[in-house]
Amino acid sequence: MRHIHSSRIVWSLLTIGFCCVSAVAEPPTSSDNDWPMYNRDVIGTRYNSAESTLTAENVDQLVEHWRYPPEGSDETIGVIHATPVVVDGEVYFGTTTDPAFYKLSRDGELIWKYRNPVIDDLHDAPRGGDVPLTGKLRRTSQLGGVLASALVTGDLVCFADTAGCVVGLDRETGAERWYLNTRSEDFPDAHPLNMLMASPILADGKVIAAGGALEQLIAGFDFYRGSSGRGFVLAIDPATGELLWKFNLGEKPQPLDPPIKLTDLQGTYTFYYGPGTSSIWSTPSFDAESGSLFFGTDVNTSPRRPTEDDPRYATDESCAIFAIDVQDGSTKWSTQINPHDVWTNFMAVYDPKTKLYKDQSIGDTPKLYTIDIDGQPTKVVGAGCKNGGYYVLNAATGEITAQTPIYTGPPDSPLTPSPDPRTIALPSAIGGIQTGCATDGQHVFTNGIDLIGGSSRKLKSGGPPVAGRVVCISADTREELWRHERPKIETIGGPAPLAVYHDVGDPIASGLALAGGVVYCTTTASGKLLALNAETGELLKEIDLGPVWSGPSVSRGRVYVGTGNTLFSESPHESFFPKKNTGELHVFGLPLDGN
Question: Contact, 231 vs 362, CB < 8 A?
Answer: no
Q: Estimate the share of the chain in helix, then strand, then coil, as percent rounded to the nearest 5.
A: 5, 35, 60
| Whole-number Å distance between alpha carbons of 343 and 259 | 16
Backbone angles phi, psi at 572, to 5 degrees: -60, -20
| Whole-number Å distance between alpha carbons of 419 and 289 | 39
Cut 0.85: pTM above it:
yes
Angle at 41 between CA 193 and CA 209, to 5 degrees: 20
**Per-residue pLDDT of the chain in tens (595 residues, 90 and over written 9):** 333 333 333 343 333 333 333 454 444 345 789 999 999 999 999 999 999 999 999 999 999 999 999 999 999 999 999 999 999 999 999 999 999 999 999 999 999 999 998 887 765 444 444 434 444 444 544 478 999 999 999 999 999 999 999 999 999 999 999 999 999 999 999 998 999 999 999 999 999 999 999 888 788 777 787 788 899 999 999 999 999 999 999 999 999 999 999 999 888 999 999 999 878 999 999 999 999 999 999 999 999 999 999 999 999 999 999 999 999 999 999 999 999 999 988 888 899 989 999 999 999 999 999 999 999 999 999 999 999 999 999 999 999 999 999 999 999 888 999 999 999 999 988 889 999 999 999 999 999 999 986 544 443 346 789 999 999 999 999 999 999 999 999 998 888 888 899 999 999 999 999 999 999 999 999 999 999 999 999 999 999 999 999 999 999 999 999 999 988 777 777 888 889 999 999 999 999 755 5
| Whole-number Å distance between alpha carbons of 585 and 161 | 19
Cis peptide before 132 (omega within 30 of 0): no
| Whole-number Å distance between alpha carbons of 513 and 442 | 15
**DSSP states of 473-506:** EETTSS-EEEEEEPPPEEEEE-STTS-EEEEE--
pLDDT of residue 346: 82
Residues 6+ away with beta carbon under 8 Å from 179? 116, 118, 165, 166, 167, 168, 241
pLDDT of residue 462: 60
Residues 6+ away with beta carbon under 8 Å from 414? none
| Whole-number Å distance between alpha carbons of 259 and 277 | 17
| Whole-number Å distance between alpha carbons of 428 and 433 | 10
pLDDT of residue 495: 87
Residues 6+ away with beta carbon under 8 Å from 501? 463, 464, 491, 492, 493, 575, 576
Domains of the chain in sequence order: 11-589 (2.140.10.10)
What is the amino acid identity at position 126?
A: P
Three-state secondary structure along 292-336?
Answer: EEEEECCCECECCCCCCCCCCCCCCCCCEEEEEECCCCCEEEEEE
Question: Contact, 23 vs 369, CB < 8 A?
Answer: yes
| Whole-number Å distance between alpha carbons of 173 and 99 | 19
Nearest to 159 by CA among 194, 189, 197, 130: 197
**DSSP states of 39-58:** TSSTT---EETT--SS-TTT
Residues 6+ away with beta carbon under 8 Å from 362? 282, 296, 297, 298, 319, 320, 321, 337, 383, 384, 385, 386
Tell me how crowded residue 257 is: count the other CB atoms within 10 A of its CB: 9
Residues 6+ away with beta carbon under 8 Å from 418? none
